[in-house]
Structure 1
Amino acid sequence: MSSEQQPAQHGRDRRLRIAYSPCPNDTFVFDALAHGRVPGAPALDVTFADIDVTNGMAERGELDVLKVSYAVLPYVLDTYALLPCGGALGRGCGPLVLTRDATLSGADLAGRTVAVPSERSTAYLLFRLWAADVVPGGVGDIVVMPFHEIMPAVRDGTVDAGLVIHEARFTYRNYGLHQLADMGEHWEDTTGLPIPLGAIIARRSLGEAALTGLADAVRASVRAAWDDPEASRPYVMAHAQEMDPAVADQHIGLYVNEFTADLGEDGYAAVRGLLTRAAAEGLVPPLTPDALRFP
């Protein structure tokens, strides 16, 4: 985890403490806001952390604004509000289950060990819903490990399969691995809804005016990145963990879309649909009727 201080060029004196991942979609979305290029927006103190870390921060009530898995929302919505923008939700962008053996099917995972990036991740919820439909008797042991360690573990035979996210969609063949199943494809085929992955949440105690202003600032930051993608490139590549620029561009193109600017009706339906189905399977607590209300 690392922290980066940004100069307060615009907005109120109080800095908002925010944590998001160093992945290209997050740095692309927040570049203009983090560097004071959104007039009137609050200044930020930025902490970079993987999603499993930010999920834990949210559950402990740390920081003002966080990028988290949609799967963690039922545990934190008393303290945080879901922003209607800035997150990752879309089509054709779901987590993948990878194996070394190209001949395996979903049914073959029964009783086998699977590595996952977090048990409180949206990827894991999608995986559990898929496994309930496809894997008779369920998978075996679940091993939680940082997402960048999963593909090497599958390649080396440490685990039988791995659930991967982020840029692994574009790089898993480099490890000699094979796609067994696409969790997003299963979700879209069974629901017709887009795939909810990562959410932006903000502390409710900031107040309605501040939350509304923050959402407006995030939207402005997204539009600024779309209007001038090259302006965000230094920030994106500085935190992309030696990622190839072409892969970073693919990553941004897949995860930053119209739902990033505004969840809209389909986005909210996808979020509620995922969490309702997960609650029915006993994977998360049920949502209250107004839990997703903003602000």
Structure 2
Amino acid sequence: MKMIIAHTPDPDDAFMFYAMFEHKIETSFDYEQVVKDIETLNRESVDANYDVTAISANGYMHVADKYDLTTSGASFGLTYGPLVIAKNKIDLKGKTIATPGKYTSAELLYRMFAPEAGKFKEIRFDKIVNSIMEDEVDAGIIIHDEQLTFQNKGLVKVLSLYDEWKKYAGDLPIPLGFNAIKKDMPLEYKLKYKTDFENSIKYAKEHETDAVKYAMKYSRYDDFELERKFILMYVNDLSIDFGETGRKALDLYYKRAAEKNIIKPFKPVIV
């Protein structure tokens, strides 16, 4: 049986899928790979074109009738999260803020914890730094490896959304990206897929250098150690199985959004 998996062109995703796509481990299915940016996948998930898709914690709310979240493959920030940056330290209230997409976790976290924006402007995540440099926006929410390079352009951190999350949630990790599997798939298949993916992540962690080399073909920077650092920021033990810790963090994430009247009360379906 063939299963179609859609993931993002981000080194952390590629790192986790390395063993599955490169046939380093035995798997229960043949896997076909589709690679698109996270906001595109968030939007396409409403059509349920893929058996498994990367999805934001925010985006998942809109397709919970079509997909279940899996406990494997998630990105939780243990000490990191989206950053709000600008040319100078500014008051964000009423400003035009670049966001990687209305369905991304980054935008919802901003709306939960940051001063009210005057306007959000959706810009592809890898174009946000340039949009600030060219004065298209006052500030921007950055995700992925741009978090490690924005200072090179002379930009400054205005707000850490992880720090704001920590004030609210204590030591619980910040929920960011997830994998979702089609709801109507037989439970037996879901569990077999999860086993394959968990084994793939474990293999990558045990063969880190080889897995990072594979992930480099998706990298936007030709810097092996930079990408290794980024990958290890977000691929951790919770990526294998986020367990009770991840469930508690997700519950608080959706609770906060509901308390701020951004969403209706929501409970994810997790396998």
- Both structures adopt the same fold (TM-score exceeding 0.5): yes
Task: Check whether the contact 2:85–2:157 (CA below 8 A) recurs between aligned residues.
Answer: yes
Task: Check whether the contact 1:95–1:184 (CA below 8 A) recurs between aligned residues.
Answer: yes
* Superposed displacement of residue 278, structure 1: 1.1
Between stretches 279-288 and 240-249, larger displacement belongs to 279-288
* Superposed displacement of residue 281, structure 1: 2.3
- The corresponding residue for 1:221 is 200
Q: Specify which of 196, 203, 207 is matched with residue 182 of structure 2.
A: 203
* Superposed displacement of residue 245, structure 1: 1.1
How large is the RMSD of aligned CA atoms in angstroms? 1.3
- The corresponding residue for 1:130 is 113
- The corresponding residue for 1:170 is 148
Task: Check whether the contact 1:155–1:176 (CA below 8 A) recurs between aligned residues.
Answer: no
Matches of 2:131 and 2:270, distance apart in 1:
40
* Superposed displacement of residue 233, structure 1: 3.2
Matches of 1:120 and 1:282, distance apart in 2:
16
* Superposed displacement of residue 162, structure 1: 0.4
Matches of 2:149 and 2:69, distance apart in 1:
31
Residue 209 of structure 1 aligns with an amino acid whose one-letter code is: E
* Superposed displacement of residue 36, structure 1: 2.2
- The corresponding residue for 1:186 is 164
Matches of 2:58 and 2:216, distance apart in 1:
28
Residue 159 of structure 1 aligns with an amino acid whose one-letter code is: V
Task: Check whether the contact 1:152–1:175 (CA below 8 A) recurs between aligned residues.
Answer: no
If you compute each CA radius of gyration, which structure gives the higher value, 1 or 2? 1
1:68–1:243 CA distance, 2 compared to 1 (3 A): farther
* Superposed displacement of residue 200, structure 1: 0.5
Task: Check whether the contact 1:150–1:164 (CA below 8 A) recurs between aligned residues.
Answer: yes
Listed one character per residue, the Cα deviations across residues 155-181 of structure 1 (whole Å, up to 9, x for unaligned) are 221110000001111101011100001
- The corresponding residue for 1:292 is 269
Matches of 1:244 and 1:100, distance apart in 2:
25
Matched, 1:237 2:228: no
Q: Specify which of 42, 46, 67 is matched with residue 59 of structure 1.
A: 46
Matched, 1:260 2:239: yes
Matches of 1:287 and 1:194, distance apart in 2:
19
Task: Check whether the contact 1:21–1:51 (CA below 8 A) recurs between aligned residues.
Answer: yes
Q: Specify which of 4, 7, 15 is matched with residue 2 of structure 2.
A: 15
- The corresponding residue for 1:157 is 135
The DSSP-based 3-state class of the residue aligned with 1:173 is helix
Listed one character per residue, the Cα deviations across residues 55-112 of structure 1 (whole Å, up to 9, x for unaligned) are 012122221100110111221111111101111013122000001013x2xxx21211
- The corresponding residue for 2:29 is 42
1:128–1:243 CA distance, 2 compared to 1 (3 A): farther
- The corresponding residue for 1:144 is 122
Matches of 2:213 and 2:88, distance apart in 1:
39
Between stretches 87-96 and 178-187, larger displacement belongs to 87-96
Task: Compute the TM-score of the two structures, normalised by the length of structure 1.
Answer: 0.88
The DSSP-based 3-state class of the residue aligned with 1:97 is strand
Task: Compute the TM-score of the two structures, normalised by the length of structure 2.
Answer: 0.95
Task: Check whether the contact 1:83–1:202 (CA below 8 A) recurs between aligned residues.
Answer: yes
Q: Specify which of 66, 69, 72 is matched with residue 85 of structure 1.
A: 72
Residue 181 of structure 1 aligns with an amino acid whose one-letter code is: L
Task: Check whether the contact 1:72–1:120 (CA below 8 A) recurs between aligned residues.
Answer: yes
Task: Check whether the contact 2:7–2:54 (CA below 8 A) recurs between aligned residues.
Answer: yes
1:211–1:145 CA distance, 2 compared to 1 (3 A): same
* Superposed displacement of residue 260, structure 1: 0.2
Task: Check whether the contact 1:123–1:163 (CA below 8 A) recurs between aligned residues.
Answer: yes
Q: Specify which of 2, 6, 15 is matched with residue 28 of structure 1.
A: 15
Listed one character per residue, the Cα deviations across residues 101-157 of structure 1 (whole Å, up to 9, x for unaligned) are 13x2xxx212111100011111111101112xxx2xx22111000011111111221
Q: Where in structure 2 are there 5+ consecutive unaligned residues?
A: none
Matches of 2:251 and 2:222, distance apart in 1:
33
1:234–1:263 CA distance, 2 compared to 1 (3 A): same
How many matched pairs? Answer: 270
The DSSP-based 3-state class of the residue aligned with 1:200 is strand
